[in-house]
Amino acid sequence: MTDKELIDPIMNKARAAQKQFESYTQEQVDAVVAAVSWAGYSNAETLAQLAFDHSGLGNYADKVTKVKRKTMGTMMDLKSAKSVGVIEVDEARGVTTIAKPMGVIAALLPSTNASATPINNAMITLKGRNAVVLAPHPKGEPACAEYVKLARQALADLGAPEDLVQYLSLKGKDKYEGKARASALMAECDYALITAGPANVDLGYRSGTPTHGVGVGNAPVIIDESADLESAIPKIVASKTFDNATSCSSENALVILDSRYDETLAALQAHGGYLTNPAEKASLQQAMWPNGNISRNIVAKTAATIADEASLGDTAAQAKFFIVEEEGTGADYPFSGEKLSVVLTVYRVENFDQAVDTVNSILDFMGKGHSCGIHTTNQANVDQLAMAAPVSTVLVNQPHCYNNGGGFDNGLDFTLSMGAGTWGKNDSCENLTYKHFLNFTYLARQIPEHVPTEEELWGDLASK
């Protein structure tokens, strides 16, 4: 069967379902979103187990937490949001904003978050009266397929079109067959959402279909002189080790001011970190990048597995995570890049200006546009970092992987898809949510004319 023969029936059903869905009221749409989200949330354990069993990435307990936390947070964001018909009336400007659907959305999903991402993507696309075709990484297909089954039953129970949520298998004889099928799907849909690696994002951009891509993570986080380490270190460790660092928002490097360096390293070790010596660092590097690319035997694995792969010994195998001291950045210093593993790189810097320069150097190598963070009580340092860093998000005194995609204690939208702006070759600098899957019509009425004077616009220039 050709890709076209496989995709056309799915697209035809999606378009028919979306056409029916387009006439739904806001109340009906919200009922649909509640149904598909509850289908995931209430089956978090089953979906997490499938994701873990078939991907071998992360751990079951944290995947359950991720499904429940992300789904609950996203539902909180969506519950009272307007997405149907007139959503805003600006009387002063005479402009009425009308929200309309995009159509059929294709969503490419990663293996690292195989249980949480399908639910989130379905919620934010259906909120805009779109249909969605989920295309999971082959390792994540069983979890995605189960969620689609649950969501479709929830839709049927509601009397809504089941074909609003479907999935397309990307399994093939090799990865190239799967990528060709993904490209064919994106070429046929109205909009694509790609929460996957740079190669898949590039496929979306080359498909000819408008596409939301996500950026590469590699979050560097500063520890300055004023940081409250008793608060910061538990947050960093919990975030770094959550789901064995499957999140692209996990702290990848700490940039530590000299005056707090020894104290910070001691605290990290007290919380389960294992500080590698130069020989162990070399062994770990060889195990992690045996051919220049990150090893699948390392990504999102336990510290014990990594210790075994790198022959680090029994003491290291008992650790929660590994600490690697580094000085440089770039291709010759692979620990300065994204690791998706329980390996934390640390840098020692003399002053805050050097800390900001180091953050930017890390991001220039990998992760530009995504995010960074700081632990501090110095507002001037927060402001300096925020102004200087080429990122979409700067987190202050927060666990990065928990809060970068939205938190109950910050104002960011909950998401599993984060844009990195033009820095990361994306079209958005935001956490992607339902707003990104709406078309808008702006109804403009006449208002009293106001033509400004030259002096109002150009001031003294107009009198010269």
User: What is the tens place of the pLDDT at every residue in 248-274?
Assistant: 899 999 999 999 999 999 999 999 999
Q: What is the pLDDT of residue 22?
A: 97
Average pLDDT over residues 429-441: 96
Is 248 designated active site? yes
Res 464 pLDDT > 80: no
Q: What is the pLDDT of residue 173?
A: 80
Average pLDDT over residues 310-322: 96
Into which CATH architecture does domain 3-214+432-443 fall? 3-Layer(aba) Sandwich (3.40)
Average pLDDT over residues 118-138: 97
HEC per residue, the chain: CCHHHHHHHHHHHHHHHHHHHCCCCHHHHHHHHHHHHHHHHCCHHHHHHHHHHHHCCCCHHHHHHHHHHHHHHHHHHHCCCCCCEEEEEECCCCEEEEEEECCEEEEEECCCCCCHHHHHHHHHHHCCCCEEEEEECHHHHHHHHHHHHHHHHHHHHHCCCHHHEEECCCCCCCHHHHHHHHHHHHHHCCEEEECCCHHHHHHHHHCCCCEEECCCCCEEEEECCCCCHHHHHHHHHHHHHHHHHCCCCCEEEEEEEHHHHHHHHHHHHHCCEEECCHHHHHHHHHHHCCCCCCCCCCCCCCHHHHHHHCCCCHHHHCCCEEEEECCCCCCCCHHHCCCCCCEEEEEEECCHHHHHHHHHHHHHHCCCEEEEEEECCCHHHHHHHHHHCCEEEEEECCCHHHHCCCCCCCCCCCCCCECCCHHHCCCCCCECCHHHHEEEEEEECCCCCCCCCHHHHHHHHHHC
Q: Where are the domains of the chain?
A: 3-214+432-443, 219-404
Domains 3-214+432-443 and 219-404 share a fold: no
- Provide the whole-model pTM: 0.94
The pLDDT-based confidence of 199 (bands split at 50, 70, 90) is: confident
Q: What is the pLDDT of residue 198?
A: 80
Interstrand relation of 343-349 and 251-257 (parallel, antiparallel or unpaired)? parallel
Res 427 pLDDT > 90: no
CATH class given for the domain over 219-404: alpha beta
Q: What is the pLDDT of residue 246?
A: 93
Average pLDDT over residues 145-166: 98
Considering 248, 372, 401, 429, which one is annotated as catalytic?
Answer: 248
- Count how many Cα atoms sit within 13 Å of the Cα of residue 206 in the half-sphere of its side chain: 11
Q: Which of 154, 161, 105, 158 is nearest to 133 (CA)?
A: 105
Res 245 pLDDT > 90: yes
How would you class 22 by CB atoms within 10 Å of its CB: exposed for 0-12, middle for 13-18, buried for 19 or more?
A: middle
User: What is the tens place of the pLDDT at every residue in 444-458?
Assistant: 999 999 999 999 999
Average pLDDT over residues 228-257: 97
